[in-house]
Structure 1
Amino acid sequence: MAHQSSQNTASAVLPPVYCPIERAFHPKAASVQNRAFDWIERHRLFGDAGIPRESALATDSARVTGSMMPGAPEDLLLLYATYVYWGFSVDDLFDTGTTEERTHHYRTLAPRLMRAVESPAAQADDDGPHVALLLDMRRYLERCATPAQVRLWVDTIHAWLLGVALELDSTRDQSLPGVNDYLFVRMYVGAARAVTVTLEICGGGEEIPAQERESTAVTALTQAAGVLMNLYQDLFSHHKEGPTDHNIINVLTHATGSSQQQARVQAVELCDRIMVLFLRLREQTAPRVSAPTRTYLDNLGHALSGVLDWCHTTARYKTGTTTAPVRAEQPSAPGLAPPPYPNIAWWWDQLDQCHT
């Protein structure tokens, strides 16, 4: 989330973040960007919806999605990149303006988005470009995914909209959740689940066996990656937000009584602990699952690396105030002790005894 009042960045120093996963790039990212913009323009998202083309270009969505799944077929990368461009434009509607304006946008648009993915045969003349493009992406997905994968994707749209509703509810009274509750909601806000499911479908592997996807280890890895991607965005967008906006730094400041700089350090330590857990659990899990699931787990790692780099360079967040290198060679919080937050601590329970 990044809107309304901004915070003092004069003394803000973000510690480097631990991410030893190598950077990766998709060779067709540039051509996919052009195709994605053609698709978006066909639905008049840049015109009727009032979204400047330059703002969409500044999200650099084609490059970051390509870095998240460098082996994806070009047509599937097109779907993912277009979905991310679309997602940023919807996020800006739900995340910009007064609480009343944001709530109005949500109440107007969210039911139509849910209907578009749940009942694509039902259409309304006044749906607008956001709904029309989502409906078109839904039909595109049907041509390149299994019915089970389409159902997963539809459910993630519902989960994302639920997360937005939860955040708006807290925003109305300017309250901040505790850290444990915030981490749970962060699995939904920011479309984390939608991103990981789309990554699974478009990443270049075959369909993941259901028993592997729903296993506790793969579920933990999926949740860890989704939360970590959203926490990275929190770290780099905080300077644009007000003190009651939902962001891990604000939540830690409120919960612990720390200064904002201390909370930045605590937030990076939490990110580093999750990264160490992700790497160890992925190493443990990969030999025990099928090739499609291993491809998915590889792409989760690419996604973490790509999103971290994107957060550091994107025009959405960049101010020129960052004074530290974006990546640390070692984690700031070594070891595998779980953090004191039950909503995520169970991830560490999936490690074999030899890893702990």
Structure 2
Amino acid sequence: MTIRSSGSDFYCPIPARPQRSDAGEIEARSMRWMESFGACEPERVRHLGASGINTLFIGQFPEAREDYAQLFADFTTYTFLWDDVFEDRLHTRPRARTIADLLGRIGVLERPRLAPEPTDPWRRAWTDITRRARDLLPPDRYATWEPIWLRAYLGDCWEVFLLDGDHHPSADEYLTLRRHTFGLATFTGVLDLAHQRPLTDAERQDPAVQAVAETAEVIVVIDNDLYSAPREALIDKSGGASITSVLANHYGCDQTEALARSVALRNRIMTLHMKLREQLGRGASQAAAAYARDVGQLIRVVLDFRLLNRYTAPYIEGRGAVPVASVVLPAAFSETGADTSPPPLPSFDWWWDALDE
């Protein structure tokens, strides 16, 4: 499956930052940490490590404290590998077991120090990283992680049921649930702490601050859907949804038109994101302005994931690394914004209300 988009129509004015010097060391520690649990084939872990996913990801946050950077790297390693295994087994795994596993992880979040030591290697890794997060984060911030992951895992259950093929979500429903399943709020919720520029409670409740984070989370979802399409086709996730399949079903159009509509949608949201970022840069505190820039960097770094072997030659259970036909997105992007009016996404209309103008 080959899907292409030209740089001239893809809006992303956020440049990549210089890499932090210890990113490779953090990457190596993260892969050793994950491999120590024996949760999946060592070859799968090494395949992900060879891509340099955390060197790219953590490298874009050179000012982040090392303990936060390591936590971010380990969360990334764990969630990407668990997602790979979860996706590969969706067709054969009993749904009741899948839901029980997800609820078990929520139980660990609720009581990380009281949870019994699990025997399942995936659960052991999850318990370890959850306990470290509980020790690192202030209590009020850790308290936000349980609902973030509860929504993520409920969204995973929603994705499982979509495999029946008897429900076709709207773009609004799809992006609402998919935003949760991607789990980027795990990072957007603590980036200010990682950079030692904590937002006040009032700043965290500011609609513009919340909207700049949520727009980034949804842009990342759309971008990931676009560049992971060849990988998803290889896995043959029949019945699963993506932003292009959702729009194709809604408009009754082919894949090419659906791709164009997807890019146009993310460009409108990206244009709003940049306006919110400029607004916070003008009238907010230095901490809020820096937070908006750091959140925007997540868009760029996840967009650059398209170059990793997870998408160009994904690891398939029993087959190893399998090259796919193409990488969807281009090497250079437009710096020209798009229509600033709200698209037909009623759950997100409030983002535009957060603009001063």
- TM-score (structure 2 length as normaliser): 0.86
User: Of the candidates 15, 30, 33, which is equivalent to residue 22 of structure 1?
Assistant: 15
Residue deviations 1:8-41 (CA, integer Å, cap 9, x gap): 32xx322332111110122211010111123223
User: Of the candidates 32, 35, 38, which is equivalent to residue 41 of structure 1?
Assistant: 35
User: Of the candidates 123, 133, 147, which is equivalent to residue 139 of structure 2?
Assistant: 147
State how far apart, in whole Å, the 1-side matches of 2:356 and 2:238 are.
Answer: 40
Query: Cα offset for 1:179?
Result: 1.1
- Within the alignment, does 1:208 sit opposite 2:199 as a pair? yes
Amino acid at match of 2:20: H
CA 1:295–1:325 in 2, change beyond 3 Å: closer, same or farther?
Answer: same
The corresponding residue for 2:174 is 182
Q: Is the 8 A contact 2:247 2:258 kept in 1?
A: yes
The 5 A counterparts of 1:67-106 are 67-101=59-93, 103-104=95-96, 106=98
Q: Is the 8 A contact 2:12 2:270 kept in 1?
A: yes
Structure 1 consecutive aligned stretches of length 4 or more whose deviation exceeds 4 Å = none
* Unmatched segments (≥5 aa) in structure 2: 313-323
State how far apart, in whole Å, the 1-side matches of 2:339 and 2:90 are.
Answer: 43
CA 1:246–1:70 in 2, change beyond 3 Å: closer, same or farther?
Answer: farther
State how far apart, in whole Å, the 2-side matches of 1:292 and 1:92 are.
Answer: 36
Residue deviations 1:41-88 (CA, integer Å, cap 9, x gap): 3333356xx772223325533123224423212221111001010011
Amino acid at match of 1:30: G
The 5 A counterparts of 1:323-338 are 325-331=330-336, 334-338=338-342
- TM-score (structure 1 length as normaliser): 0.87
Residue deviations 1:290-343 (CA, integer Å, cap 9, x gap): 3333332111111111111112x0112223524863332244x62311112212
The corresponding residue for 1:161 is 153
For the residue of structure 2 that corresponds to 1:245, the secondary structure is: coil
Residue deviations 1:90-121 (CA, integer Å, cap 9, x gap): 21233223445173552242122111111113
Q: Is the 8 A contact 1:282 1:297 kept in 2?
A: yes
- Within the alignment, does 1:231 sit opposite 2:235 as a pair? no
The 5 A counterparts of 1:189-338 are 189-202=181-194, 204-239=195-230, 240-241=232-233, 244-311=239-306, 313-318=307-312, 319=324, 321-322=326-327, 325-331=330-336, 334-338=338-342
CA 1:51–1:101 in 2, change beyond 3 Å: closer, same or farther?
Answer: farther
Amino acid at match of 1:119: R
Matched length: 339
Query: Cα offset for 1:174?
Result: 4.6
CA 1:345–1:308 in 2, change beyond 3 Å: closer, same or farther?
Answer: same
Residue deviations 1:220-259 (CA, integer Å, cap 9, x gap): 1111001111111100111233563211011111110111
Amino acid at match of 1:327: A
Query: Cα offset for 1:171?
Result: 2.4
Cα RMSD over matched residues? 2.3
Q: Is the 8 A contact 1:13 1:323 kept in 2?
A: yes
**Which is worse superposed, 334-343 or 245-254?**
334-343
State how far apart, in whole Å, the 1-side matches of 2:22 and 2:342 are.
Answer: 39
The corresponding residue for 1:4 is none
The corresponding residue for 2:106 is 114
Query: Cα offset for 1:152?
Result: 1.7
For the residue of structure 2 that corresponds to 1:18, the secondary structure is: coil
Amino acid at match of 1:329: S
State how far apart, in whole Å, the 1-side matches of 2:328 and 2:111 are.
Answer: 49
Percent identity between the two aligned chains: 24
The corresponding residue for 2:316 is none
State how far apart, in whole Å, the 2-side matches of 1:53 and 1:157 are.
Answer: 23
Residue deviations 1:106-156 (CA, integer Å, cap 9, x gap): 224212211111111333354422222222222222333211111122332
CA 1:154–1:235 in 2, change beyond 3 Å: closer, same or farther?
Answer: same
State how far apart, in whole Å, the 2-side matches of 1:251 and 1:323 are.
Answer: 18
* Unmatched segments (≥5 aa) in structure 1: 1-7
